[in-house]
Structure 1
Amino acid sequence: MSIGNSPEDERPFEDGRSSDGHEEEARPSVGRALQQARIAAGLTVDDVSSATRVRIAIVHAIEADDFTPCGGDVYARGHIRTLARAVHIDPAPLLARYDDDHGGRPAPTPAAPLFEAERIRPERRGPNWTAAMVAAIVAVVGFVGFTAFKGGDSDTDAASQVTQGATPSASKPAAPKPSNTTATPKSDPSDSAIAAAPQDKVTVQVSAVDGRSWISAKDHNGRMLFDGLLKKGESKTFQDSSKVNLILGDAGAIQLYVNGKKIEDDFQPGAVERLTYTKGDPEVG
C-alpha cells in the first residue's frame, strides 16, 4: 500500500502550525498547496497518480517541495500544471510561486544545429543520380575527344570511319536517360519527408498541432537531440540507428508520426509523457 492512500491521514494541522510546532507561512508552498487541494478533493496519491500518469514517488516528492525527481525546471513545471488540474485548482499561481522560488521561468534551450534525419535524407536521393550523370558525360566527352585525336592521325578514309563511328557513340548518352526515367517513380510514393523514412533507422516526427509544448529528444546513446519549446504549428524530426527517447511536457498538444505511421494516442492536455520508439512498427517503450 503506497503512502498517502488515506486523504484523512494527511489533513493539515487545525491550529495552523506544522508538525515541529512552528507557524507556517501565510501563503502555502507549491507542494503544500497541491497536497491540501488533493485532500480537499477527497483524493489519494494513488488516485492522482492514476489520473495523471505521474509516478507515485514523484507526487510524494512534489508535495514535499522536492522537485529533484522531476529532472529539471521544465518538467517540474509540467508536473505542477498536471497535478493542479487533477485536484481542480488553477496552476498559474503555483507556477508563479515556483518561478519565484527557483530563479524565474527557464529559458528555452536552442535546438541542435542540424538533426541527423535532416542531414541524411537529402544525401540519399539526388546525389547518386547526379554522380551517375556526371560520370556519363565525362565518359562521352572523353570518348569523343579520343576519337577526334585518333582521327587526326589517320587518312581521309579513316577520318570518314571515325565520323561514322561517332554517330553511334553520340547516342550512348541515351543509356543513363532510361535510368533517370525509371528513377522518377521512386520519388512519387514520398509525399512527405516522414513517408520516406529508411527501414534500417527509427524516424520520429513531433508536431505541436493543438498548442505549444516543451519536448526533449535523445538518441540511443543518451545524446541530447533537442530540449526546448515547440510552438503551435511547429514540428521537429529526429532519427537514430536504433532508438529515440522522448519526453513531452504537454502530450495533449502533440501529434506523432513514427517510421511513417501516425500514432493514435489518448494523451491528455497538460500530461507529461515519456516515450521510446524503435525501428519497424511503432512501439511505445
Structure 2
Amino acid sequence: MSENTKSIGETLRDARIAKGYTLDDLQQTTKIQKRYLIAIEDGNFSDLPGDFYVRAFIKQYAETVGLDGNDLLEEYSDQLPSTKTQEYVDRVNEDNPSTRSAQRKVDDRTARIRRQVPIVAAVVVVVAVLIGIWYASTRNSQSSSSSQNVDSSSVSVSGSSAKSSSQASSSSKKATKASTKASKASFSKVSTSGSTTTYTMTNAPKTKTLKIRTSSSAWVAVTSAGSSVYQGTLPASQVKTVKLSSSATSVNINLGNAPVTKISIGGKQLPISTATSSATTASSTTTGSSSTTTGTANGTSASSTSSTTTSQVQNIVVQFK
C-alpha cells in the first residue's frame, strides 16, 4: 500500500503539468478521449469503459508524461480496480496473441469437424443403400420379382438423387439472390450535425457484419439498440469483425481517430464523410483562437493541436433499410 499522500490522478496531473502538456496535447498523443483523461486525474474510474481500460489508460498516460507505467500501477494498486475480475481476464486474453492463436486453432478444428459431418453422413447413407440393394439382388437373383425389386430400388435412388439435385439448385438460386441483394446495397448521407453524420444503407443484408481496420492505433466504440457491442483501442492494421443482430435497424459508431479508420458493412465500404472533418476543424480553430485570446502561454500550439484532435473524432449513425 502506497504511503504517498497524493492520489494516482494527482501524480499524473503534476507530471503532465511539469512536461508542459495540456489535456488536448495528451489526447492527441495517446488517442485517449479527453473526458477519460479528466476522469483519471479526478479518480473517477467508473467513468472509463471498464476495469481493463483503467489500468491500460493510466499506463499509457504515465509513459507519455515520462513516468514508469508499471511502477506507478504497482505503487497505487490499492486505488485501482482488481485485476482478478472476469472482465479484466477476458480482455487480457483477447489482447494476448498466443491466447488468440490457440482459440483460432480450436475454432478451426471445430469448423472442420462440422464441415465433415454432412459428408460422412452422406457416405454412410449411400453405403447403406448400396448394401441393401446388393443383399436384395443376391438373395433373389433367380426370380423375376427380384429383378423388379432391384429396378424399383434403382428408380427410388434415382428419384432421390433428382430431388436432391432440385434442392441443391433451389439453394443455389437463393444464394445467388442474396448475393445480388448484397451487391445492390448502397449508402446515402442523410445529414451532418457537428461531428455526427447519419447515413442510410439501402438493401442492407440480413446478416450485418462490420469490419473495422485502422492504419494507426485508434479507439472505436460500436453501439446498437442502446447496447454496447464493442469498444476498445485497435492496433494498426488489425481487422476487427463485429456482428450485429439480424433485427438491428441502426448502428452507432464512435471513432477516436477517423482519418485512419475504414469500415465496411456487409462487404460495402462506408464513406466516412470528409465534410464532417472539415467543419469540425473550423470549429476547433475558432476554439483554439479563443484559447489564445485568454493568454495561454502556448496559445498557437494549443490552437493547432485542438484543431487536429477534434477533427479526428467522429460519430457515425447508419440506419438500415
Which bracket does the TM-score occupy, shorter chain normalised?
A: 0.3 to 0.5
Tell me the TM-score normalised to structure 1 length.
Answer: 0.47
